[in-house]
A = this chain, B = another copy of it.
């Protein structure tokens, strides 16, 4: 099938391009390289069935040209600002890179009659519901970050466009996603800090912020498996909370990292408070009944995903 991966040079997008090509699909990868990198897709450039478009999906004219030339049958939309901490200082980034990209993708799908969509949503749509077991029917979604707001707005757009244009859409609300090609986030920060000064580690908050971390290949496998819903006759939106067994606190991440780096006497310096920064949700927990009942389970639990990521990122670094 001819696929378009918007945000295909990003951390998750590039892994998805790998999987789609491996499954025999052609891949048109579009990216504006704001967070995505050429390195992430360097190994695909010569590969049969892969084409790269440099362009910004929030520009409707540019995107229409990509649709016109590549004529996709299915669109995987992963373009977004994924750095929540950064957009807290500048919400325009979310308006442009997260919401408007979704709007333009849907407007082009409507125009070019493309009916199959995968969308990467997030736990951030729920807001701060730290004491609620979050399932797909949890009410009162109340994002506390501009990122979560733009993603919830995107879900709303997908609902209306899917209904109005008889589309099929698959939406996953991702937890924290980690693995090779990761560019930011707590693991990356800690690693950088400890390389600079292996005697101590400054930790934002009280270190008890606890979230489920999914390994990126587990996530991509789930996308590939459930994309079969886009082949069914039934139109509509299919939504899953995508999660893993267990969760990992920020202090636990530091512990695993120190173990892997062979550091035994690091002093942790906590800045204090429950959240890492304003807009950060300190804890959340997914109910996984729906996705488990549908026959999928992650290979790695949260702690394993953290450890494997640290190992992979260190291996990449050693390779240079």
Query: Does A99 make an interface contact (CB < 8 A)?
Result: yes
Query: Does A23 make an interface contact (CB < 8 A)?
Result: no
Partner of A237, one of B106, B125, B142: B142
Chain B residues whose C-beta falls within 8 Å of the C-beta of A99 in the assembled complex: 99, 103, 153
Q: Is the CB of B139 within 8 A of A160?
A: no
Q: Is the CB of B164 within 8 A of A144?
A: yes
Query: Does A278 make an interface contact (CB < 8 A)?
Result: yes
CB distance from A42 to the nearest CB of B (A): 35
C-alpha spacing A91/B109, complex, angstroms: 12
C-alpha spacing A154/B95, complex, angstroms: 11
Q: Is the CB of B159 within 8 A of A144?
A: yes
Main secondary structure of the interface of A (DSSP, over half): helix
C-alpha spacing A156/B41, complex, angstroms: 34
Chain B residues whose C-beta falls within 8 Å of the C-beta of A92 in the assembled complex: 107
Q: Is the CB of A144 within 8 A of B163?
A: yes
Chain B residues whose C-beta falls within 8 Å of the C-beta of A150 in the assembled complex: 156-157
Q: Is the CB of B279 within 8 A of A127?
A: no
Using a CB-CB cutoff of 8 Å, which residues 77-92 of chain A contact chain B? 88, 91-92
Query: Does A148 make an interface contact (CB < 8 A)?
Result: yes
Q: Is the CB of B153 within 8 A of A156?
A: yes
Would you list 23 pairs from A and B whose C-beta atoms are within 8 A, ordered by A residue?
A: A91-B160, A91-B161, A92-B107, A95-B100, A95-B103, A125-B156, A136-B140, A139-B140, A141-B141, A141-B159, A142-B159, A143-B156, A144-B159, A144-B160, A144-B163, A145-B164, A146-B164, A148-B156, A148-B160, A149-B153, A152-B156, A153-B153, A160-B279
Closest 4 CB pairs of A and B: A153-B153, A149-B160, A139-B139, A152-B156
- A residues near B, CB below 8 A? 88, 91-92, 95, 99-100, 103, 106-107, 110, 125, 127, 136-146, 148-150, 152-154, 156-157, 159-161, 163-164, 237, 278-279
A92-B107, A127-B159 known, 13 other contacts, Cβ within 8 Å: A91-B106, A91-B110, A95-B100, A137-B140, A139-B140, A142-B159, A142-B163, A143-B163, A144-B160, A145-B160, A149-B156, A149-B160, A164-B278
